[in-house]
Amino acid sequence: MTAALFIEQLMNGLQLGIMLFLMSAGLTLVFGIMNMINLMHGTFYMAGAFVAATLVKLSGSFVLGLIGGVVGAAALGAVVELGLLRKFYSRSHLDQVLVTFGLVLVFGDLFRMVWGPMALPMQTPAFLSGFVRIFPGVNYPAYRLVIIAVGLLTAAALYVLVAKTRAGMWVRAGASDRDTAQALGVNVQALFSAVFAFGAALAGLAGLMTGPVTAVQVGMGEPVLILALVVTVIGGIGSVQGALFGALLIGIVDTFGRVLFPASISSMMIFILMAGILAFRPAGLVRVHG
C-alpha cells in the first residue's frame, strides 16, 4: 500500500468513524441513562436523510435541508417517545426490543409509501463538491472533510454539555440514581424526553450528512444501526467519550479491513475486535461510574 493510499483510507476510516459516532452518541445516552434498548435509532438516521433530501430538492438549499433533517428527526423521536416508548422504560429489555423492532417495520413501510422504493438522490452542495489537497499527492473530497469537522465539533459540544453544564449535571444525576434526582427536584421524565429527542437529532444529522455520499433509501439505517450498537458496547454504555473512541476505532478497522482482506474476512473483523476488547474490558473502553 502506497503512502497516498494509506492516507486516503485513513481519512475514509475517520469519516466513517465520525458518522458512527453521531449515531452511537445518542444511542449510548439513551441506553446508559434510560436503560432503554432502542432499535428504532436507525429509523431516525433514515428520517434525517429523507427529510433533508426532500427539502434540498424542493428549495435547492443544503442549509435548509440540514436544519429540516435535524429538526424532523428530533420531532419524530419526541413523538414516538411521548406517544409510546416512555411506557416501556420500566419494562424488560425483551419488551423494548420487540416494540422498537416493530416500529422499525412500521416506519419502514410508511417511508416506502411516502417516498417510494427507489433511492432518493441528494446532491453534494456545489461549494463543497471539489477536492482539498491534504498531503502532497493526496486530494480528498471537501465534503467528506466537512463531515469530519462537523463530527468533531459535535463531540466537543457534547463533552461541554454533559461535563460542564447544569443540564449535563442533571443528565448524570438521572443516570446514576433517577429516584434521588427526582426527589431533589429534577424533572426526570422531561429530562428523558429531551435526551431521547436529542439522540434522534444526532442520528438524523448523521443520516443527512452521509446522504450525498451514500444512497438515501428505505432500510439505509439498519446496517448503520448494527455498527452503532457495536460502537456502544465497545466504547462503554453511557459514555460519549467511549462512543467517540469506539467509533473511530471501528471506522478505521472496517475501512482498512475492506482494502486489505477478502470480503469474507473483512466483514467479521469488527465483531472479532469487539470480542477481543470485551474479553479484557467487559465494561468497554471507558467505564461509566455510577
Residue 288 has pLDDT above 70, yes or no: no
Q: Which residues of 212-249 are buried (b: 16+ CB within 10 A; e: fewer)?
A: beeebbbebbeebbebbbbbbbbbbbbbbbbbbbbbbb
How much is the pTM?
0.89
Is 288 a domain residue? no
CB atoms within 10 A of CB 103: 17
Contact 225, 42 (CB under 8 A): yes
The full DSSP string for 179-229 is HHHHHTT--HHHHHHHHHHHHHHHHHHHHHHHTTTS-B-TTTHHHHHHHHH
pLDDT one-digit tens code per residue, 8-36: 888 999 999 998 998 888 888 888 777 78
Q: Which residue has the higher pLDDT, 147 or 263?
A: 147
Is 198 a domain residue? yes
The pairing of beta strand 131-135 with beta strand 138-141: antiparallel
Strand partners, 132: 140
**DSSP for residue 237:** T
Q: Which residues of 144-172 are buried (b: 16+ CB within 10 A; e: fewer)?
A: bbbbbebbeebbeebeeebeeeeebebbb
Q: How far apart are CA 57 and CA 122, in angstroms?
A: 7
Average pLDDT over the chain, rounded to whole? 86
Q: Which residue has the higher pLDDT, 136 or 14?
A: 14
Among 59, 34, 51, 14, which residue's Cα sits nearest to residue 203?
51
pLDDT one-digit tens code per residue, 213-237: 888 999 888 888 888 888 888 888 7
Is 287 a domain residue? no
pLDDT, mean of residues 118-131: 84
pLDDT confidence bin for 49, thresholds 50/70/90 = very high
Kindly give, in sequence order, each residue whose CB lies less than 8 Å from that of residue 257, ignoring residues fewer than 6 positions away.
Answer: 265, 266, 269, 270
Q: How far apart are CA 251 and CA 148, in angstroms?
A: 12
The whole domain housing 255 covers 8-280
Cell numbers describing residue 65: 435541508
* φ, ψ dihedrals at 161, nearest 5°: -65, -45
Strands (E), 36-127: none
Is 290 a domain residue? no
Q: How far apart are CA 168 and CA 160, in angstroms?
A: 8
Among 202, 212, 23, which residue's Cα sits nearest to residue 122?
212
Total domain count for the chain?
1
- Residue 197's pLDDT is 92
pLDDT, mean of residues 83-112: 90
State what percent of residues in the chain have pLDDT above 70.
95
Is 275 a domain residue? yes
Is 2 a domain residue? no
- Residue 176's pLDDT is 66
pLDDT, mean of residues 191-216: 89
Q: How far apart are CA 161 and CA 141, in angstroms?
A: 31
- Residue 75's pLDDT is 95
pLDDT, mean of residues 276-287: 83
User: Residue 264 maps to which CATH number?
Assistant: 1.10.3470
Q: How far apart are CA 24 and CA 32, in angstroms?
A: 11
Residue 174 has pLDDT above 80, yes or no: no
Is 239 a domain residue? yes
Is 286 a domain residue? no
Local structure of 39: helix, strand or coil: coil
